[in-house]
Structure 1
Amino acid sequence: MFALMETARLESLHFAVDPLTGLQAIIAIHNSRLGPALGGCRYLPYADTRSAIDDVLRLAKGMSYKAALAGLQQGGGKAVIIRPAHVENRGALFEAFGRFIETLNGHYITAMDSGTSSVDMDCIAQHTQHVTSTTAEGDPSPHTAMGVFAGIRATALARLGSDNLEGLRVAIQGLGNVGYALAEQLHAAGAELLVSDLDHNRVQRAVVQLGARPVANEALLAIPCDILAPCGLGGVLSATTVSQLRCSAVAGAANNQLASADISDNLQARGILYAPDYVINAGGLIYVALKHRGKSLVAITAHLTQISRRLTEIFGHAQADKRSPARVADAIAERLLYG
């Protein structure tokens, strides 16, 4: 276990079990140099404990990098709860998790993530103040979409010479809360939309409301476009899929878009500009972090401009050094986190 932590450069790893509610939870604090660790809580049916540990280690590191490049006074952390096969009282389980968080004395702040909701955060909040994205604080998705939209404009400027999106062909993979909100903003800016989603109803809604062109999921990655915006599952960019891309740039909301770190070099070799996912999709983190600190919506919206500025900085360094933007982003984050 200590070898895993050292490899991940993790500060601490915490486990909790509550037999009464079925809670089995793990909290990873990756780096707290810039402030208390902040990261969502996943509630998923992991195959085994090792799978849960691997997930929380990987995600905590990503949150450290995301917070650092977003200019936040937050460290990176993550929590996973292994979802039991049968739950007698979900509310009681999350209340138990809230008591677990409270024992960490503010070193970790939790938030909504895969499998959890604002209602779950409300249950946690009954036992600790170190929680955000509650019902009262609102949905961070619109702010994630706002940040991605600004990032797409910065990417278009760097790759295509203009941030005017009028007539630009953008292929959006995934029309969930963030993907659809992004599609609405791109439509308002005059972009031509190509869309796919596993949910046919979401696609039809985009066709009717936004004039989007529907594309089969398996065909979207290979379709000719200016910008590909992955907004669904992670790992979509592999050696195989990158060889099929017919776009000038990739800039989307999905987490962990690269199947492995070296895929960024494949994109670079093909002349496809990549907007590092944890930089461009930081709008949701900015929202929950600043909301938790009591900042106004005006201040939060103003902070979102950090995303396009940071991307422009990364693209400039990448061009000068002839390196992939992902490599540059990692180097900047590590300098901020480790000096």
Structure 2
Amino acid sequence: MQIFEEMQARGHEALTLLHHAPSGLKAALAVHSTVLGPAIAGVRLRPMDEQEALKSALTLSESLTLKAALAGLNYGGGACVLLMPDTGVDDPHAREALFRALGRKVRPLQSLVVLTEDIGVTPSDIAFVAQETPATLGVNTDTSSVTGYGVYRGMKAAARSALGSESMRGVRVAILGVGAVGRTLAEHLHREGARLTVADERAERAEALADDLDGVTVVGADDLLDVPCDILAPCGYGHSIHSADVPRLQCRLIAGGEHHPLSRRGEDAVKEAGIMYIPDFAINAAGLIAAATTLTPEQAAERVYGTVSRIVNVADQVGKPPHVVARRMAERRIDLIGSLGRGA
């Protein structure tokens, strides 16, 4: 990957590499935009190589810019992707050192960046960061469960247009990835009477969910895209649906909690296939909204419901795909509010 070309193409402002040998900290901190305010950077920790970490930081930060703008927040977008230390993070003292080192390294950038939790990171981890820098959000928010509930509400809003009704009773939903967000989504759908098929790269998580929820079908992660369903909900680590996979899909709506489940080419492919796609930055924003405001989890989820409803209504009116409409809405707010600071 040509880093500077990638940054220029996406419009990034900065990419910083953070390193602290004693704690094992190795991280890529990307700032996509600070036009609306300091960049909210989701902190993500999972095993990956350096190239994957850099790419993830760039794509996630762009998504956060659009998410914050569409949600009406006065923040820009960033991402902080940590490589897993060689010694792991099972030792609580080692975990504390890792996240306090992160806070110490980010402290000089606190006017530009605000850190919050993402995959593999907990509110307790962010509390360690907060001991070293005030530039944090979400210490007291279970963002994963709030995000999952928001995805559920956004899915219902989209289903009104895609399926003719927002009721999930009897609707076939295939969920790829049942970590914290996917599991919460599954629980809400199951409660309403949806027919669930689930899969996860860690098969034991899918099996555990099926043990807890009656009537849930488990398939392999490689097989889920072939499952006939009404709604496909990607809730994994990103890029779960490759453009070459689109002909396999047997759904009418894609709506899930995963960041960037589709590439731009994949978005074009699902459009050609007649599948409605609600982009991640529109539907998985509830956790971010709750962390960044005084709204309750329920209020944050209802804001997602309202946003998705507005997107699909405008999409129906203008005859454009929802993912195109959502991006234009976010970019328009950035342009309009950003112009105030330029004296225009």
For normalisation by structure 2, the TM-score amounts to: 0.86
Change (3 A) 1:192 1:2: closer
Tell me, in whole angstroms, the C-alpha distance in 2 between the residues paired with 1:226 and 1:257. Answer: 17
Structure 1 CA distance for aligned equivalents of residues 268 and 120 of structure 2: 33
Alignment check: 8 A CA contact 2:289 2:295 kept: no
Runs of 4 or more above 4 Å deviation: 1-4
Unmatched segments (≥5 aa) in structure 1: none
The secondary structure found in structure 1 opposite 2:86 is: coil
Alpha-carbon distance, 1:44 to partner: 4.8
Does the 8 Å CA contact 1:265/1:324 hold for their aligned counterparts? no
Q: 1:139 to 1:322 in 2, by over 3 A?
A: same
Report the Cα offset of residue 153 of structure 1: 0.7
Paired residues for 1:235-274 under 5 Å:
235-258=239-262, 260-274=263-277
Identity level (%): 36
Letter in 1 for 2:298: T
Q: Which residue of 2 aligns with 1:179?
A: 182
Which of 159, 164, 172 lines up with 1:161 in the alignment?
164
In structure 2, C-alpha distance between the alignment counterparts of 1:194 and 1:25, rounded to whole Å:
35
Alpha-carbon distance between aligned partners in 1 of 2:52 and 2:319, rounded to the nearest angstrom: 36
- Could you tell me which of 27, 30, 42 is aligned with 1:28? 30
CA deviation string 1:130-166 (max 9, x = no partner): 11333xx142111111111111111110112111222
Structure 2: which amino acid aligns with 1:190? G
Is this contact kept in 2: 1:230–1:257, CA < 8 A?
Answer: yes
- Verify the 8 A CA contact 2:147 2:284 in the aligned structure 1: yes
Structure 1 residue aligned with 2:49, among 44, 47, 51?
47
* Aligned twin of 2:341: none
Aligned to 2:339: none
| Structure 1 residues 18 and 72, CA gap change in structure 2 (3 angstroms) | same
Partner of residue 280, structure 1: 283
Q: CA deviation at 1:246?
A: 1.2
- How far apart are 1:296 and its partner, in Å? 5.1
- Separation (CA, whole Å) in 2 of partners of 1:95 and 1:192: 43
Structure 2: give runs of 5+ residues left out of the alignment: 337-344
Task: State yes or no: 1:112 paired with 2:117.
Answer: yes
Deviations 1:185-233 (CA, angstroms, capped at 9, x unpaired): 1111121112222344433343343221223333321222111111223
TM-score normalised by the chain length of structure 1: 0.87
Counterpart secondary structure, 1:304: helix
| Per-residue Cα deviation, 1:283-312 (whole angstroms, up to 9, x for no partner) | 12112222xxxx252xx4223222122222
Q: Which amino acid aligns with 2:114?
A: I
Contact 2:286 2:303 in 1 (8 A): no
Paired residue for 1:198? Answer: 201
SS in structure 1 of the partner of residue 43 of structure 2: strand
Residue 83 of structure 1: how far off its partner (Å): 4.0
